[in-house]
Amino acid sequence: MNQLLKVFIMLIVIALTIGLKPAESNVETQTTDQRVKDLVSKMTLEEKVGQMTQVTIQAVSKVQGTGKQQHQIDLAKLEEAIIKYNVGSILNVYDVAHSIEYWHQVITEIQDIAKKKTRLGIPVIYGIDAIHGANYTKGSTLFPQAINMAAAWNKDLAEKCGSITSYETRASGIPWNFYPVMDIGRQPLWSRLWETFGEDVYLASQIGSSYIKGAQGNDISDAAKVATCLKHYVGYSFPINGRDRTPAWISERMMREYFLPTFEAGVAAGAPTVMVNSSEVDGIPGHANYHLLTEVLRNELNFKGFVVSDWEDIARLHTRDRVASTPKEAVKIAVMAGVDMSMVPYNFSFYDLLLELVKEGSVPMWRIDEAVSRILTVKMQLGLFENPYPNKELINNFAKSEFTEANLTAARESIILSKNEDNILPLSKESKVLITGPTANQLSPLNGGWTITWQGNDESLYPQEKHTIAEAIQNKIGVKNALYSQGCSFTEEINVKETIEAAKNADVVILCLGEPPYCESPGNIDNLTLNNVQLNFAQKIAAAGKPVILVMIEGRPRVISSIVPDMKGIILGFLPGMEGGDALADVIFGDFNPSGKLPVTYPRNANGITLYDYKPIENFDVNTYNPQWPFGYGLSYTTFSYSNLKISSKEITENETLKVSVDVKNTGETSGQEVVQLYLCDLYGSVTRPDRQLKGFEKISLNPGEIKTVTFALNKDHFSFIGIDNKRITEPGDFVVMVGDKKEKFTLTESKN
């Protein structure tokens, strides 16, 4: 090639390289970095410490009382917070969900002060728990809770849920959502189990990342996107005694194997904020854990965003945990461990103490600059400097019918059919049914906590136009054939005799049991078994002699083994959200073919908590693995068969990919969705290996007789585990891959290089 041509080609290559996306985004990052640097260089220490301070809206509101919808901002207090204390962030709702217009007013008042009355005009970042939709905005689209989103095993739905929730949250003027919960749900007693995407690392990572993708898109400055927050980093979900905010003992290896990977996935998906574990692991409170907050989160997971404390938890290092002998020491410990923003939340103590600490040299200036830079970067990424105000145009599409449709689809797909003796379900629409039980005729149990209020338990605030299970059934088959009689409340018998008589006159009884709504510590229980009032009621109803369909509405798998044999059909509804009543009626009467699969193990006995990925010793000698229903389980009104499981090679090295394919056929007479689940078993390892682990899944739809081939690709990530040295490794050896009832064995060999 002649010289001139070579130079010409080189020039083209250079031009193309400069024009490529990564180069562009580099330029953008540099600009944001530079902007942040410039701004930080102009800030006083007080302004910086203020940015690190977050207060609740209660702290800047007129007092108080419990008046619904009577919230009023106290402008004097708000000005004090923003002008005198320079607070960088405000959170929460005063008491109860506001109208979207009222949110606009509140956010505008806040940003007006920040923009027009402070020296540098730095916008406030408002944060909220929009857990299953914009639950603190009246009339929002309220999705099934996380446990149900996981039960749907549908990444597209999770993404849609993220995107609609973001739309409605940002439409309310709020750009920051304290969600998703990336804690792993391996302790079924825990009152926040339903806020998780279940017990499995792979499923939760996939569903959580899909949610983030939908919530953030490619650019969180987009008018309809928000910044997500991964919580509660890390190990919060595994309290030994099952009660919220109590200690976990998690070794370094188990932390890395079971609890860190979901956060790693969330960081990789681009979440720009992380909230800290409110409790303690191995004797170190989450907020004091330098190793996890800095060494692991920053240096290993490469997290670049900012870390916010949980509610009052820095102060609690002194008042509760006693790792700090004074409130001031608590602030120092938390900030130096790696907490960038303090959810104080009622006062300015953090601000005052941190100022003192910096002035006396106990907290270095570099640490303040680091924290503030991270916070300002997220504010810039959100576009708040350009426009901190609510976007009025977004109100138009708030809770539009398309969103309700998506919500109904999510609710339907999240419902699990776990027993269907003699194919009692679906019921004919001609059947005469009796609907009974404490969860039959209320919307609040379908939604759970974080709905309109924190505990979600004020039924009077729920939208009248939405349907309870009883109403949805009555709408479907007519009131004449669908009698409702309560029977019992969650804790007391109400009109049991009358209900039994009514049962005798029905063809089928639909018995709706479970839990009232709850959230965080108020949801603590000491016994996973459903209480006797409900279990006895179920037995009495069954004794009336008519087939009983049990519908469980609950945030965690309450043990029901004593009544399972008496039930002809069982539906596990968990917390299906605002469209849950309609979705359940659709499943019961066959307008929707159930496809939900358990995202947690359903225990048979309160003390028999052995999860699906148990270790060999848990099913050895006298130990047995015998859950009520296993993880991944769920029936359909049709049947599926698996055949032709193929693997691309019987032997691969860790740097190669194993392709797996399987044919799935709908062998029944109804169209249906099947969740094709791929499990892997590493037969021998230097650390005990689980019986099986989920490593892939895909939800497919099949018409009767239709066959689809589903393929998976497995690589090093899937074969690896945390070894004796607490590092992620792969080991050569034999593996079994399992899909449906089919298995294949392959060998992982040493890398050739």
Binding site for ligand BGC (CB under 6 A): 92, 129, 178, 231, 275, 278, 310-311, 520
In the complex, the smallest distance separating the C-beta of residue 371 from ligand BGC, rounded to whole angstroms, is 19
| DSSP-assigned states of every residue in 229-262 | EEEEETTTT--TTS-TT--B---HHHIIIIIHHH
Q: How far are the Cα atoms of 36, 87, 90 from residue 381, in angstroms, in the given order?
A: 11, 19, 18
* Nearer of residues 520 and 656 to ligand BGC, judged by Cβ: 520
Q: How far are the Cα atoms of 93, 418, 426, 457 from residue 577, in angstroms, in the given order?
A: 20, 20, 22, 13
In the complex, the smallest distance separating the C-beta of residue 55 from ligand BGC, rounded to whole angstroms, is 12
Structure tokens at 649: 């090679």
In the complex, the smallest distance separating the C-beta of residue 76 from ligand BGC, rounded to whole angstroms, is 25
| DSSP-assigned states of every residue in 405-429 | HHHHHHHHHT-EEEEEGGG-PSPPT
Q: Which of 511, 514, 515 is nearest to 541 (CA)?
A: 511
Q: Virtual CA dihedral for 694, 697, 699, 700, nearest 10 degrees?
A: -130
Q: Which parts of 122-281 fold into alpha helices (H)? A: 146-151, 155-171, 201-216, 252-254, 260-268
662, 645 in Cβ contact below 8 A? yes
* Nearer of residues 198 and 449 to ligand BGC, judged by Cβ: 449
Rg of the Cα trace of the chain? 27
* Nearer of residues 195 and 413 to ligand BGC, judged by Cβ: 195
In the complex, the smallest distance separating the C-beta of residue 375 from ligand BGC, rounded to whole angstroms, is 17
244 flagged as catalytic: no
3-state SS class at 334: helix
For residue 541, what are the contacts with CB-CB under 8 A and spacing of at least 6? 436, 487, 499, 500, 503, 509, 511, 548
How far apart (Å, rounded) are the C-alpha atoms in residues 258 and 187? 12
* Nearer of residues 275 and 662 to ligand BGC, judged by Cβ: 275
Question: Could you give the count of Cα atoms lying within 13 Å of 280 in the half-sphere of its Cβ?
Answer: 14
* Nearer of residues 36 and 274 to ligand BGC, judged by Cβ: 274
* Nearer of residues 274 and 548 to ligand BGC, judged by Cβ: 274
* Nearer of residues 244 and 586 to ligand BGC, judged by Cβ: 244
Catalytic residue chosen out of the listed positions 310, 321, 582, 586: 310
How far apart (Å, rounded) are the C-alpha atoms in residues 67 and 314? 30
Q: Which of 751, 664, 676, 666 is nearest to 712 (CA)?
A: 676
Residues paired with residue 553 on neighbouring β-strands, in sequence order: 514
Element (H, E) at 55: strand 53-56
741, 642 in Cβ contact below 8 A? yes
| DSSP-assigned states of every residue in 273-324 | EEEE-SSEETTEEGGG-HIIIIIIIIIIT---SEEE--TTTTTHHHHTS-SS
* Nearer of residues 90 and 560 to ligand BGC, judged by Cβ: 90
Q: How many CB atoms lie within 10 A of CB 197?
A: 30
Q: How far are the Cα atoms of 133, 148, 288, 411 from residue 399, in angstroms, in the given order?
A: 10, 20, 41, 16
How far apart (Å, rounded) are the C-alpha atoms in residues 395 and 168? 8
Residues paired with residue 341 on neighbouring β-strands, in sequence order: 308
In the complex, the smallest distance separating the C-beta of residue 54 from ligand BGC, rounded to whole angstroms, is 10
Q: Which of 103, 110, 63 is nearest to 87 (CA)?
A: 110
Q: Which of 3, 88, 131, 122 is nearest to 519 (CA)?
A: 131
Number of alpha helices (DSSP H) and beta strands (DSSP E) in the chain: 22, 26
* Nearer of residues 115 and 231 to ligand BGC, judged by Cβ: 231
* Nearer of residues 523 and 596 to ligand BGC, judged by Cβ: 523
Chain centroid, CA 273 distance in Å: 15
* Nearer of residues 177 and 677 to ligand BGC, judged by Cβ: 177
DSSP designation for 459? G
Residues annotated as catalytic are 310
